[in-house]
Homo-oligomer: A and B are copies of this chain.
Amino acid sequence: MDKLEGLVAEIAAEMAAQTERGKVASYIPQLGKVDPKQFGIAVTLADGRIVCGGDADTRFSIQSISKVFTLTLALGKIGDALWRRVGREPSGNPFNSIVQLEYERGKPRNPFINAGALALADVILSGHRPREALGDILHFIRHVADDDSIAIDQGVARSEQETGFRNAALANYMRACDMLESPVDFVLGVYFHHCAIAMSCRQLAMAGRYLAFSGRQDGRTVLSPERARRINALMLMCGHYDGSGEFAFRVGIPGKSGVGGGILGVVPGRASVCVWSPGIDEQGNSRLGRLALERLTQGMGWSVFGPQG
């Protein structure tokens, strides 16, 4: 057992013993039913190895982690024209804040706040039907994860659609500012469904390889090294909502969290990591997930901000 294997096993054991786990997100009723005691971790390496621990094969709702993939797709579709639709600065406000949107006249500050992800969905739609846009998204994720079994959890999607008034407010507001092209319902439909994709830690760690390894995966180019670096930069700056500074400070790698309790982390040049534990903190980020990643990056000396010393 090498150092990484030992550390992953140690982290999985530690997290199983934790009692302070945060609260399971309940604003989407379906999410509230998940057992909070679960924890999973998966690490893929440059040499193709994958090291797992805990509930690494249990599927969970990836929620906002999906925004990393829709960002990749939207950039592939319209390139730098995307930045006329959405900004690149951290938001300094909670993730569903409509205030900031008003000050910026409907242009979301970055692709990872909800309003930004609605803009991405609109770009991916570009005149097509929601079904087609979702097909593109699922196809991309299955491709980078190398796993055709990945699918949308329709129960979660429905649950989000029935209770997603805040997102409906954002989408209508953006439409009022002429910042959405497709019908509001189409955009919301695509958004609610891609957030409801279910994946395991193993699948997400596989899917994140192109970000860790200069845009390449299984010997093929998914996107350019420069674009991979830029997505990583956005993940570090904005990937944890109003807890992004905290995550950079403690964990020190690009990461994107979802309220389902998952976090996808990228160690440039070295590893793609996914952790999952359903309890989240006040900023909407997995409590044990962040703790586990902090242990991992410290243990491996993987922080982008300097070696272990």
A102 to B100, CA, bound (A): 11
- Describe A's contact surface by its main secondary structure: helix
Choose among B238, B254, B306 the residue that contacts A225 (Cβ–Cβ < 8 A).
B306
Question: Which of A's residues lie within 8 Å of B, judged by CB?
Answer: 87-93, 97-100, 102-103, 109-110, 165-166, 168-170, 172-173, 175-176, 184, 212, 214-215, 224-226, 228-230, 232-234, 236-238, 242-246, 248-249, 252, 254, 268-269, 303-309
The interface residues of chain B lying within 8 Å CB-to-CB of A232 are 305-306
| Known contacts A109-B92, A308-B225; A252 and B233 CB within 8 A of each other | yes
The interface residues of chain B lying within 8 Å CB-to-CB of A87 are 245
| Contact A245 B98, beta carbon cutoff 8 Å | no
5 A-B contact pairs sorted by A residue (CB < 8 Å): A99-B103, A228-B305, A233-B249, A236-B236, A237-B249
The interface residues of chain B lying within 8 Å CB-to-CB of A110 are 245
| Contact B244 A237, beta carbon cutoff 8 Å | yes
The interface residues of chain B lying within 8 Å CB-to-CB of A98 are 98-99, 102, 169, 173
